[in-house]
Chains A and B, each alone.
Chain A
Amino acid sequence: MKNVKIKDISSPVEQLAEIKLEELYPLPPPYDKLEEQPGFKTLSREIRAKFEASLDGVMAVGLKKPESEEEEKRLIESFISGLNKLFSKENNWAFLQPLTLSMEYCARCQTCSQDCPIFIGSGENEIYRPTYRAEILRKLYFKYVKKGSKLYNTFQNGGIELNWKLIARLFELSYRCTLCRRCAQSCPIGVDNGLITHELRKMFSMEMGLSPKELHEKGTVQQLEVGSSTGMNSLVVKDNIEFIDEDMSERTGIKVETKWDVEGADVLLIHNSGEILSWPENPGAFALILDAAGIKWTMSSDLVGYDGVNYGLFYDDVQLARIAMKHLDIAKKLKVKKIVMGECGHESKAMGVIADRIFAGAVPRETAMTIMNDIVFSGKLKFEPERNWFPVTLHDPCNLARSMGVIEPQRKVLRYLAPKFREMEPHGNRNYCCGGGSGFAVMSRYNFSDWRIQVASRMKFEQVLNAFSDENPGPETPKYVCAPCSNCKGAFRDLFDFYGAKAKSGLYYSGLVELIVNAMVDVKEGFIDFEMM
Chain B
Amino acid sequence: MPIFEYGTVKINVDEDGFIENPEDWNEEVAKALASTEDVLDITEDHWKVINYLRDYFKQYGIAPMIRKLCKETGYPLKRIYELFPSGPAKGACKVAGLAKPTGCV
Interface residues, chain A, with chain B CB atoms under 8 Å away: 46-47, 62, 214, 218-219, 222-223, 228-233, 235-236, 239-240, 243-244, 247, 272-278, 280, 307, 309, 344, 441-442, 444-446, 486-487, 490, 497, 531-532
Can you list 16 A-B contacts with CB-CB less than 8 angstroms, sorted by A residue number? A229-B104, A231-B101, A236-B62, A247-B67, A247-B71, A272-B104, A273-B104, A277-B105, A278-B65, A278-B104, A280-B65, A344-B104, A442-B105, A445-B14, A490-B104, A497-B87
Cβ-defined contact, B65 with A532, below 8 A: no
Cβ-defined contact, A228 with B103, below 8 A: yes
Query: In this assembly, does B77 line the interface, its C-beta being within 8 Å of a C-beta of chain A?
Result: yes
A229→B66 CA distance, assembly (Å): 17
Cβ-defined contact, B65 with A219, below 8 A: no
Shortest CB-to-CB span from B5 to chain A, Å, is: 13
A218→B62 CA distance, assembly (Å): 12
If the complex has contacts A240-B68, A276-B65, are A231 and B15 also in contact, measured as CB distance less than 8 A? no
One of B2, B62, B68, B76 near A231 (C-beta < 8 A): B62
A46→B2 CA distance, assembly (Å): 9
Cβ-defined contact, A229 with B65, below 8 A: no
Cβ-defined contact, B67 with A218, below 8 A: no
Give the residue name and chain of the B residue nearest to A273 (CB): B103
Extra inter-chain contacts (17) besides given A47-B15, A231-B102, CB under 8 Å: A62-B15, A214-B102, A222-B102, A230-B102, A230-B103, A231-B61, A231-B62, A233-B60, A244-B65, A274-B103, A277-B63, A277-B101, A277-B105, A307-B103, A309-B103, A309-B104, A532-B76
Cβ-defined contact, B67 with A231, below 8 A: no
Cβ-defined contact, B104 with A442, below 8 A: yes
Interface residues on B, range: 20 to 34
A531→B78 CA distance, assembly (Å): 8
Give the residue name and chain of the B residue nearest to A59 (CB): B15
Give the residue name and chain of the B residue nearest to A347 (CB): B104
Which residues of the other chain, A, contact B103 by a CB distance below 8 angstroms?
Answer: 218-219, 222-223, 228-231, 273-274, 277, 307, 309, 442
Which residues of the other chain, B, contact A532 by a CB distance below 8 angstroms?
Answer: 76-77
Interface residues of B in 4-39 (CB under 8 A from A): 14-16
A272→B104 CA distance, assembly (Å): 7
Cβ-defined contact, B102 with A229, below 8 A: yes
Give the residue name and chain of the A residue nearest to B59 (CB): A236
Cβ-defined contact, B66 with A277, below 8 A: yes
Give the residue name and chain of the A residue nearest to B65 (CB): A277
Shortest CB-to-CB span from A372 to chain B, Å, is: 20
Which residues of the other chain, B, contact A46 by a CB distance below 8 angstroms?
Answer: 2
Cβ-defined contact, A243 with B65, below 8 A: yes
Which residues of the other chain, A, contact B71 by a CB distance below 8 angstroms?
Answer: 243, 247
Which residues of the other chain, B, contact A47 by a CB distance below 8 angstroms?
Answer: 15
A223→B102 CA distance, assembly (Å): 10
Which residues of the other chain, A, contact B62 by a CB distance below 8 angstroms?
Answer: 230-232, 236
Cβ-defined contact, A487 with B65, below 8 A: no
Which residues of the other chain, A, contact B66 by a CB distance below 8 angstroms?
Answer: 277-278
Give the most central of B16, B67, B71, B87: most A CB within 10 Å.
B67
Shortest CB-to-CB span from A102 to chain B, Å, is: 29
A247→B65 CA distance, assembly (Å): 12
A247→B72 CA distance, assembly (Å): 12
Give the most central of B2, B63, B68, B77: most A CB within 10 Å.
B68
A399→B60 CA distance, assembly (Å): 33
A316→B59 CA distance, assembly (Å): 33
Cβ-defined contact, A218 with B102, below 8 A: yes
A327→B55 CA distance, assembly (Å): 32
Shortest CB-to-CB span from A88 to chain B, Å, is: 33
A446→B61 CA distance, assembly (Å): 24
Cβ-defined contact, A441 with B15, below 8 A: no
A222→B105 CA distance, assembly (Å): 15
Give the most central of B60, B62, B104: most A CB within 10 Å.
B104
Give the residue name and chain of the B residue nearest to A497 (CB): B87
Cβ-defined contact, B15 with A487, below 8 A: no
Which residues of the other chain, B, contact A277 by a CB distance below 8 angstroms?
Answer: 63, 65-66, 101, 103, 105
Give the residue name and chain of the B residue nearest to A43 (CB): B15
Give the residue name and chain of the A residue nearest to B14 (CB): A445
Shortest CB-to-CB span from A187 to chain B, Å, is: 30
Cβ-defined contact, A240 with B104, below 8 A: no
A277→B60 CA distance, assembly (Å): 13
Which residues of the other chain, B, contact A307 by a CB distance below 8 angstroms?
Answer: 103
A527→B16 CA distance, assembly (Å): 35
One of B2, B14, B60, B102 near A219 (C-beta < 8 A): B102
Cβ-defined contact, A444 with B16, below 8 A: yes
A355→B31 CA distance, assembly (Å): 48
Which residues of the other chain, B, contact A239 by a CB distance below 8 angstroms?
Answer: 60
Cβ-defined contact, A236 with B60, below 8 A: yes
Shortest CB-to-CB span from B25 to chain A, Å, is: 18
Give the residue name and chain of the B residue nearest to A222 (CB): B102
A70→B77 CA distance, assembly (Å): 53
Give the residue name and chain of the A residue nearest to B62 (CB): A231
Which residues of the other chain, B, contact A444 by a CB distance below 8 angstroms?
Answer: 16
Shortest CB-to-CB span from B58 to chain A, Å, is: 13
A47→B78 CA distance, assembly (Å): 35
Which residues of the other chain, A, contact B102 by a CB distance below 8 angstroms?
Answer: 214, 218-219, 222, 229-231, 442
A231→B61 CA distance, assembly (Å): 8
Give the residue name and chain of the B residue nearest to A276 (CB): B65
